[in-house]
């Protein structure tokens, strides 16, 4: 048993202590193996932790709704406006918004963005490479996802990124400042949308939000803002942690670096295995729309149901030797991007971004290792990964212009 004792029914799946390295995986393993559908008597949250069960829940949106909220901790919305569309929608309404946005998030679109991602990767590495050391989270991981979305997907001003990221961090981590940060972010979204009205169309995501229609009608101003919020910040925190998790493993596993450096393993498969092994979003939520049961556990109408992707991605019923990183495993169908109608809209772009970044890191940061005395700390948010990661390396020249984010 872990000290976050599951047996007494008082375990809180959002206890911040759970994020520590010594408790996280033992606790999730205990949940999955001993109580795959766990109901906390403390707060009535239900945790589902086996692969097949989570797939079933994600397919059944009528019983397990996303409308109330998908983050494990619902945001206290200022102005009643802070909602993530289309993530927090269901049925025909959800499908209509996805159909409006889908053309900008296809695999083909992601492949077109690979040169932009490569340029940004080199630009960021150039800033610290010659030092032979960096704090990877602040110097790279927290910068690349935002720049990739702003410059590659949205066409939003680069200079706005730092303040938008600051607002989002306050929303996630600072309860006292959350309301004001939400108001600032909402105002920024409204301003960006307004700046594009009546101008020349660029045929991009913001144009689709401003001029697009769903269900035979234009989007309301509130819907436009809520979609832009999701598009702007929805994947930033998870991609930051995915990058940090990858580099932590590379810095402590020289055998993995050798496999990638030699071409023995491809960057595309490596990214999939890293995402399986360490899902950057450990849990996301649904809300039960009626009384139901699973594995004999009663789930009351209105209960928040947390889908534990981290535990499911290491479910031995699905994956052989699941606690081992294996770039060559035959089954790479992890749940890091969820499944069903709410599968991550930006999954293709996130994959290409991670692949290109991984190739740049392997090529340009030789002999990668943790800095002596550097402590790896995890901070509990909607995502899980190192909050700080001090690394050292031997600098190497830029990738050539024909570098590709996968072999």
Which CATH number is 146's domain given?
Answer: 1.10.630.10
Q: Is residue 302 in some structural domain?
A: yes
Give tens-digit pLDDT for 390-406: 999 999 887 654 444 33
CA 343/CA 310 separation, integer angstroms: 16
Q: Is residue 11 in some structural domain?
A: no
For residue 162, the model assigns a pLDDT of 86
220-231 mean pLDDT: 93
Contact 94, 143 (CB under 8 A): no
- Which pTM was predicted? 0.93
Q: Is residue 96 in some structural domain?
A: yes
- What is the total count of domains within the chain? 1
Is the pLDDT reported for residue 101 higher than 60?
yes
For residue 1, the model assigns a pLDDT of 45
Q: Is residue 26 in some structural domain?
A: no
For residue 76, the model assigns a pLDDT of 58
For residue 374, the model assigns a pLDDT of 78
- C-beta atoms surrounding 348 within 10 Å: 18
CA 311/CA 33 separation, integer angstroms: 10
Q: Is residue 74 in some structural domain?
A: yes
CA 240/CA 237 separation, integer angstroms: 5
CA 59/CA 63 separation, integer angstroms: 9
Q: Is residue 13 in some structural domain?
A: no
Q: Single out the residue of 59, 145, 69 nearest to residue 338, CA to CA.
A: 59
pLDDT band at 331 (very low <50, low <70, confident <90, very high): very high
Q: Is residue 407 in some structural domain?
A: no
Question: Across the chain, which distance is largest between two alpha carbons, in Å?
Answer: 62
Containing domain of residue 334, as a range? 45-395
Task: Measure Cα distances from 74 to 148, 346, 356 in Å.
Answer: 27, 21, 33
60-78 mean pLDDT: 80
| Residue 262 burial by Cβ neighbours in a 10 Å radius (0-12, 13-18, 19+) | exposed
Q: Is residue 353 in some structural domain?
A: yes
Low-confidence winner among 230-239, 262-271, 341-350 (lowest mean pLDDT): 230-239
For residue 404, the model assigns a pLDDT of 41
């Amino acid at each position: 048993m872990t000290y976050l004792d599951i047996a007494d029914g008082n375990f809180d799946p959002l206890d911040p202590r759970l994020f520590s390295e010594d408790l996280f995986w033992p606790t999730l393993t205990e949940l999955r193996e001993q109580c795959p559908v766990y109901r906390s008597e403390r707060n009535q949250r239900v945790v589902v932790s086996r692969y097949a069960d989570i797939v079933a829940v994600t397919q059944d949106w009528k019983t397990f709704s996303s409308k109330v909220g998908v983050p494990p901790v619902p945001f206290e919305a200022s102005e009643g406006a802070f909602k993530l569309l289309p993530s927090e929608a269901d049925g025909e309404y959800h499908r209509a918004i996805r159909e409006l946005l889908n053309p900008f998030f296809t695999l083909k679109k992601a492949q077109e963005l690979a040169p932009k991602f490569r340029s940004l990767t080199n630009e960021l590495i150039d800033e610290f490479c010659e030092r032979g050391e960096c704090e990877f989270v602040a110097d790279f991981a927290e910068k690349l996802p935002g720049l990739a979305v702003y410059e590659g997907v949205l066409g939003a001003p680069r200079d706005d990124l730092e303040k938008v990221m600051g607002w989002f961090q306050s929303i996630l981590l600072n309860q006292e400042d959350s309301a004001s940060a939400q108001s600032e972010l909402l105002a920024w979204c409204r301003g960006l949308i307004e700046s594009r009205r009546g101008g020349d169309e660029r045929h991009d995501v913001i144009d689709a939000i401003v001029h697009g229609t769903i269900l035979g009608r234009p989007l309301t101003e509130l819907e436009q803002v809520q979609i832009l919020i999701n598009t702007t910040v929805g994947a930033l925190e998870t991609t930051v942690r995915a990058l940090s998790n990858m580099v932590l493993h590379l810095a402590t596993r020289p055998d993995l670096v050798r496999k990638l450096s030699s071409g023995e393993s491809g960057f595309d498969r490596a990214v999939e295995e890293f995402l399986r092994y360490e899902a950057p979003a450990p849990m996301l939520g649904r809300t039960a729309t009626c009384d139901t049961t699973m594995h004999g556990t009663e789930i009351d109408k209105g209960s928040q149901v947390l889908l534990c992707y981290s535990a499911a991605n290491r479910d031995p019923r699905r994956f052989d030797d699941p606690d081992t990183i294996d770039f060559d495993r035959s089954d790479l169908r992890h749940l890091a991007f969820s499944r069903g109608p709410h599968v991550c809209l930006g999954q293709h772009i996130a994959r290409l971004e991670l692949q290109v970044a991984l190739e740049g890191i392997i090529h340009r940061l030789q002999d990668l290792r943790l800095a002596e005395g550097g402590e790896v700390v995890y901070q509990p948010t909607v995502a899980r990964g190192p909050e700080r990661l001090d690394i050292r390396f031997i600098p190497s020249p830029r990738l050539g212009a024909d570098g590709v984010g996968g072999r």
